[in-house]
């Protein structure tokens, strides 16, 4: 690191890395709470579980969530029925909210200059951090002193339970809140036409790709070829790069498998389309977590990474069938290959027969 960069870092820490600490903090006195999650769909969905916990702690408080272009419409969709959040705060218009929040819950991991400036402008009274530092980075929660409390959940804690390991636990009895999602039934029914069914079939949504990960195409093809697919319609969700993935996948499939690639949906359309499916098969991604929240049977494929499994495994409803398949090979959270597919085939065939049998009654 050169001298100029070192000087910039020191100046940043001096100007932005400190804040006034309130003495004798009593978290029972909080009147306004703002959540700032990562803007991925899974993180956004989990923030609603946190907000439900906060609502039980603070029944009369104003609870808000920070939004970006990426997750704003998803927040509105989830919030339209239950009204968990009282206010959706545009991250780019934070100046309007300066000094208006008693408590900020910051779930972002890496600290950077833009985030420090943003927090300085917002100027909440109290900040609780739930993020994790990147090893070796020049900003950390040791030299950045803007946090009143830094939460370090156990390594085996799921992210949905983070509040239960925080400063809140000293003041409140916090109950677990699994993700849930209620949609407009009419909007969901409108999406059934996108399955293009000529006769009754089990609708299976495939989500084999995440933001930075995907299941190995050859493994997925073998898995699908082994399924009892006579009464099944597969649709693969369309994401960045999905056309090439789908083209290679279909070249390896039996010719009589009924499969297609979805059209490009808005986030609202995609969630309603997912809700119109009977079963969801996907990798560690927002689709799997949304499916669990919608109480859909879910077959999920996860890398054999202990930290990620503890933090981000699916949280299904206890009354809904689900199976998590974990890679045989330990690695990073993106190493999605070498799965025990015989377990996945068996589970999905049983689920298909169960749902098809129920629909015949």
State pLDDT tens for residues 198-217: 999 999 999 999 888 999 99
**Side-chain-facing half-sphere of 198: CA atoms under 13 Å:** 1
Banded pLDDT at 131 (limits 50, 70, 90): confident
Domain residue spans in the chain?
15-170, 187-360
Q: Copy the structure tokens of residue 261.
A: 């690639």
Percent of the chain past pLDDT 90, that is, above it, reads: 86
Mean pLDDT of 239-256: 95
Using DSSP, state whether 31 is helix, strand or coil: coil
Where residue 360 falls among pLDDT bands split at 50, 70, 90?
low
Which is more confident, 360 or 255?
A: 255
CATH of 187-360, one of 3.20.20.300, 3.50.50.60, 3.40.50.2000, 3.40.50.970: 3.40.50.2000
Residues facing 150 on adjacent strands:
129
* pLDDT tens for each residue of 62-105: 999 999 999 999 999 999 988 999 999 999 999 999 999 999 99
CB 90 within 8 A of CB 98: no
138 Cβ contact list (under 8 Å, min separation 6): 1, 9
Task: Tell me the C-alpha distance between 23 and 150, whole Å.
Answer: 16
Which pLDDT tens digit goes with each residue over 138-190?
Answer: 888 889 999 999 998 999 999 999 999 999 999 999 999 999 999 999 999 99
15-170: CATH number:
3.40.50.2000
pLDDT at residue 4 in the model: 82
* Residues 132-137, mean pLDDT to the nearest whole number: 76
pLDDT attached to residue 1: 63
Residue 257, pLDDT above cutoff 70 = yes
Q: Residue 352: its pLDDT value, please?
A: 97
| Average pLDDT value over all residues in the chain | 94
Predicted TM-score (pTM) of this structure: 0.94
**Which sign does the torsion angle of CA 138, 142, 143, 147 carry?**
positive
Least confident of 9-18, 47-56, 158-167: 9-18
């Amino acid at each position: 690191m050169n001298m100029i960069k070192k000087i910039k870092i020191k100046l940043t820490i001096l100007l932005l890395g400190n804040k006034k600490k309130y003495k004798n903090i009593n978290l029972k006195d909080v009147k306004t709470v703002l959540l700032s999650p990562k803007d991925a769909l899974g993180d956004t969905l989990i923030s609603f579980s946190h907000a439900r916990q906060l609502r039980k702690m603070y029944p009369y408080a104003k609870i808000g969530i920070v939004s970006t272009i990426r997750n704003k419409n998803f927040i509105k969709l989830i919030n339209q029925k239950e009204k968990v959040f009282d206010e959706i705060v545009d991250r780019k218009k934070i100046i309007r909210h300066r000094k208006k929040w008693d408590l900020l819950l910051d779930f972002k991991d890496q600290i950077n200059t833009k985030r420090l400036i943003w927090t300085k402008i917002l100027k909440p009274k109290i900040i609780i951090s739930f993020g994790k530092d990147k090893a070796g980075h020049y900003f950390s929660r040791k030299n950045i002193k803007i946090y009143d409390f830094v939460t370090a959940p156990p390594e085996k804690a799921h992210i949905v339970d983070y509040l239960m390991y925080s400063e809140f636990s000293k003041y409140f009895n916090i109950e677990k809140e699994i993700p849930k999602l209620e949609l407009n039934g009419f909007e969901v029914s409108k999406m059934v036409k996108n399955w293009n069914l000529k006769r009754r079939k089990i609708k299976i949504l495939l989500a084999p790709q995440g933001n930075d990960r995907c299941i190995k195409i050859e493994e997925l093809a073998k898995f699908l070829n082994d399924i009892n697919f006579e009464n099944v319609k597969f649709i693969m969700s369309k994401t960045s790069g999905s056309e090439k993935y789908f083209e290679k996948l279909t070249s390896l499939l039996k010719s009589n498998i009924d499969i297609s690639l979805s059209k490009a949906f808005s986030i609202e359309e995609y969630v309603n389309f997912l809700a119109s499916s009977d079963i969801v098969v996907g990798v560690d991604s927002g689709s799997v977590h949304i499916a669990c929240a919608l109480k859909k049977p879910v077959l999920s494929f996860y890398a054999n990474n202990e930290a990620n499994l503890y933090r981000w495994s699916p949280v299904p409803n206890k009354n809904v069938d689900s199976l998590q398949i974990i890679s045989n090979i330990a690695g990073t959270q993106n190493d999605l290959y070498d799965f025990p597919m015989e377990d996945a085939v068996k589970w999905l065939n049983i689920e298909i027969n169960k749902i098809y049998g129920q629909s015949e009654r």
